[in-house]
């Protein structure tokens, strides 16, 4: 926007929501809470925010130096798999989104959440590497 890449500025929101959803899942597994609704809501918000961040990332990708495209594709692959995994995790707990009572989480939902958090962490690291190591779309002064 206005000559600046927007993707690096907005990715923090869906990352925070999705990783917070996984933390909420871990709190449920540890018995620290019985509320599974908050994790589902965080996950849904993170998935929606992730779509916005992905759109901005695609817009930034168009302006990316071609030598960095292979690195960007690694980032895209990990983050895309994480987004898909969180989508599966949300589907597996869809009742927790609308339930007024606590619903139990299955092993599949927890496993998908944990695996997706790992993928998102790697994808985020790769994205940070694009900006901070390679200077992706950073204006040269």
**How many angstroms separate the CA atoms of 100 and 45, rounded?**
19
Q: What is the pLDDT of residue 113?
A: 98
| The model's pTM | 0.92
pLDDT of residue 30: 96
Residue 125 CA to residue 108 CA, distance in Å, equals: 26
Residue 26 lies in a domain: yes
Q: Check pLDDT > 60 for residue 50.
A: yes
The answer to whether residue 34 sits within a structural domain is yes
* Number of domain units in the chain: 1
Structural domain boundaries, residue 117: 7-132
In a domain, 1, yes or no: no
Q: Is the pLDDT of residue 1 over 60?
A: no
Residue 61 contacts residue 130 (beta carbons within 8 Å): no
CA 2 to CA 73: how far, in whole Å? Answer: 25
Neighbours of 89 (CB within 10 A): 29
First-to-last C-alpha distance (Å) of the chain: 18
Tens digit of each residue's pLDDT (9 = 90 or more) over 70-115: 999 999 999 999 999 999 999 999 988 887 667 889 999 999 999 9
Radius of gyration of the chain (CA): 17
**Domain membership flag for residue 58:** yes
Task: Quote the distance between the C-alpha of residue 95 and its chain's center.
Answer: 21
The DSSP line for 30-51 is TTS----HHHHHHHHHHHHHHH
Whether residue 138 lies inside any domain: the answer is no
Q: State whether the Cα torsion 120-96-23-21 is positive or negative.
A: positive
């Amino acid at each position: 926007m206005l000559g600046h890449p927007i993707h690096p500025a907005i990715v923090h929101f869906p990352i925070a929501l999705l990783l917070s959803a996984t933390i909420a899942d871990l709190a449920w597994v540890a018995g620290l809470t019985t509320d599974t609704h908050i994790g589902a809501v965080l996950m849904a918000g993170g998935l929606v925010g992730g779509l916005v961040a992905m759109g901005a990332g695609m817009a930034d990708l168009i302006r990316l130096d071609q030598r960095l495209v292979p690195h960007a594709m690694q980032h895209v692959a990990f983050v895309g798999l994480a987004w898909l995994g969180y989508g599966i995790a949300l589907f597996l707990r869809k009742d927790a989104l609308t339930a007024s009572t606590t619903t139990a989480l299955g092993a599949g939902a927890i496993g998908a959440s944990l695996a997706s958090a790992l993928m998102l962490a790697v994808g985020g690291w790769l994205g940070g590497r694009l900006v901070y190591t390679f200077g992706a779309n950073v204006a040269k002064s």
